[in-house]
Amino acid sequence: MDYNLHTDFQIEDKSYLALIKNKIREIGQELELSEEEIGKLNIIATELITNLVKYGQRDREMLVKPILEHGVAGIEIISIDKGDGAKDPLRMMQDGYSTSGTKGEGLGAVQRLSDEFDIYTHTTGTIVLSRVYQKNIDLYPKPKCRIEYAGIMVARKGEIVCGDQWLVDQREDSFTLAMIDGLGHGPNANQAAVAAINIIKDAQKYDSPDEILSQIHENIKRTRGAVGLIAKVNFEKRNLIHCGVGNIGCKIISPVNVENNKSLILFNGILGLNVKRMNSTENNWDANKIIIMHSDGLNTRWDLNQYPGIYSRHPSIIAAILYRDFNRRNDDITIVVARTKRN
């Protein structure tokens, strides 16, 4: 099962709820979720679609995917719309509050039923995140994680597989974020991307990003080729070492000091076809920084500073903002957000 790939539903009216419930049940049964957990997700989807149809003015969308957190499986639902946004989001969470004369149980019910929940609303629209896990994730011991991350990955319209792939590898003293974009889209692009990601998974802990990309270049020559970026953060050394080839986008953002924001530079070429040279580059890293990596399905002219308070939101919300407002809509798209875990 691909825990990175979202299924997207363009919401025109409440009739789309049946399709989403079918998808929830399909994923839930494969993950062996209980009927109670699937029931929770169905209620969440119902409430979110109701809100989308009532209040979302345009570009109403819902993303659904399986997730795996600390070894516990679940399902993620993200509700997205463009519009004027909610005027009083905190009050909206209270049972009994409604701006349309209904019982006002929507978002309050979603929050109660979710194991993880977050919402961001602004004059550009509203995004809601809900996650439900197998049983309760709080019952399971959590490993010591020093980062939090999330990604949105959606295949080009009409495709059932995505030509993008990404991974995060967490270790006690470091983490690695990698993204691969197979040339084009569809099964052949997916084949190249999966082959490259598997090489990254098998790489040794101390291999540098350029050494790993060299292995990829040599071993995917029978595929159509790919572009890719690998970034390794070491917490003790307070550095980020990266190497990339092609048009993967990546920014290191410092919310406390925008002058320290930096776009990573990649080498020209195509992995598996033609790469003239590669070497790793080192940058500073600290606990305040956020790394955002994306494929070329995202327009590069984005600026999160136009969204007040966005840096305090869940990484899925941050990725969803970019997906909603800067999606080219003509290719596979992947956005991954990672940062040092907040206390």
What would you report as the CA-atom Rg of the chain, rounded to the nearest whole angstrom? 20
Which of 24-33, 76-85, 93-102, 161-170 has the weakest average pLDDT?
93-102
Average pLDDT over residues 212-217: 97
> Which tokens in the block code for residue 203?
């790489």
On the question of pLDDT at 103 being above 60, the answer is: no
What pLDDT sits at residue 99? Answer: 41
Neighbour tally for 100: CB within 10 Å: 10
d(CA 165, CA 145): 22
Residue type, 93: M
Residue 104: the pLDDT is: 38
Tell me, what's the pLDDT at 138?
74
Q: Give me the percent of the chain exceeding a pLDDT of 90.
A: 77
Contact 78, 62 (CB under 8 A): yes
Asked whether residue 150 carries a pLDDT value surpassing 80, the answer given is yes
Average pLDDT over residues 261-270: 95
β-partners of residue 130 are: 77, 117
Residue 205, pLDDT > 90, answer no
As a whole number, mean pLDDT of residues 26-45 equals: 96
Positive or negative torsion for Cα 288, 233, 340, 31: positive
Q: Mean pLDDT lowest for which of 82-91, 131-140, 295-304?
A: 82-91
Contacts of 89-92 spanning 24+ positions with Cβ under 8 A: 89/119, 89/121, 89/126
Note the pLDDT of residue 225. Answer: 97
Query: Whole-prediction pTM value?
Result: 0.93
**List of domains in the chain:** 5-139 (3.30.565.10), 147-340 (3.60.40.10)
Stretch (H or E) spanning 11: none
- The angle formed by the CA atoms of residues 312, 293 and 171, to the nearest 5 degrees, is 80
Q: Measure the CA–CA gap between 48 and 253, rounded to whole angstroms.
A: 31
How far is 295 from 229, CA to CA, in rounded Å?
Answer: 10
**pLDDT above 60 (res 89):** no
